[in-house]
Amino acid sequence: MILRHLKATDREAFEKLLDEWDDSPGFNMLYGLIEVVAFSSYLKVLEAMRDDLSCLYAFVGDEIVGKANVRHHLNKHLENLGGHIGYGVLNHQRKKGYATEILKQALDYCRELGLDRVLITCDENNIGSCKVIERNGGVLENLFDPKDGSSLKKRYWINL
Ligand SMILES: CC(C)(COP(=O)(O)OP(=O)(O)OC[C@H]1O[C@@H](n2cnc3c(N)ncnc32)[C@H](O)[C@@H]1OP(=O)(O)O)[C@@H](O)C(=O)NCCC(=O)NCCS
């Protein structure tokens, strides 16, 4: 599995991913860009956001199995709820170790960005995601209560 930016030749793989992504809660595949007019325009948007946000796709051969969103800087909201890195794996590709590998490669990417530690958050009851973070060296700092009726968020730090 290789985690990388999209390129012009990935249009087919990207469209297949959008067809297959079931909008599971917990991960934003398109990052708010719902109206993707053309793949080439989407690539330009990703490029323009790249100082703050890197969208990295997990390829197995020619197929995309998941994605990581790497936020380069934290703001007040991300400090409690989003953290530096979010990730998601297609439903039918889960429990094969892909998320663990996606986070590992996303951490390598953060190291290259010059970050020395990253914050990762997940819902307290998201057992899979908690395991993924702990297997990548996550140290639990605390639980944050968003006070909106949703579940508590575990806040983990990983030293790079
Ligand atoms: C959470 C998520 C990313 C896990 O992806 P994945 O590719 O299945 O994770 P892995 O295969 O690397 O699994 C790591 C461990 O967690 C376990 N696991 C994964 N999903 C699980 C689940 N729903 N319940 C219990 N354990 C789970 C795996 O079995 C594995 O443990 P094991 O080796 O002891 O068997 C995936 O379910 C997903 O995309 N969910 C929706 C989005 C989301 O919640 N993202 C995380 C928040 S940023």
Reported pTM: 0.95
Superfamily (CATH H level) for 2-159: Gcn5-related N-acetyltransferase (GNAT) (3.40.630.30)
How far is ligand 1, taken at its centre, from the CA of residue 93, in Å? 10
Q: Where are the domains of the chain?
A: 2-159
136-158 pLDDT, tens digit each: 999 999 999 999 999 999 999 99
What's residue 59's pLDDT? 98
What's residue 21's pLDDT? 79
* Spatial separation of the C-alpha atoms in residues 118 and 22, rounded to whole Å: 28
Neighbours of 1 (CB within 10 A): 16
* Spatial separation of the C-alpha atoms in residues 6 and 48, rounded to whole Å: 13
How far is ligand 1, taken at its centre, from the CA of residue 71, in Å? 21
* For ligand 1, atom 12: residue with the closest CA: 97
Query: Two tokens at 112?
Result: 């290259």
What's residue 96's pLDDT? 98
Flag whether pLDDT at 103 surpasses 70: yes
119-139 pLDDT, tens digit each: 999 999 999 999 999 999 999
Quote the mean pLDDT of the chain: 91
Report which of 106, 30, 36 is spatially closest to residue 71, judged by C-alpha positions: 106
- Residue 136 near ligand 1, beta carbon < 6 Å: no
16-73 pLDDT, tens digit each: 888 887 766 667 676 655 555 688 888 998 999 999 999 999 999 999 999 999 999 9
* Spatial separation of the C-alpha atoms in residues 45 and 7, rounded to whole Å: 12
> Which atom from ligand 1 is nearest to the alpha carbon of 93?
7
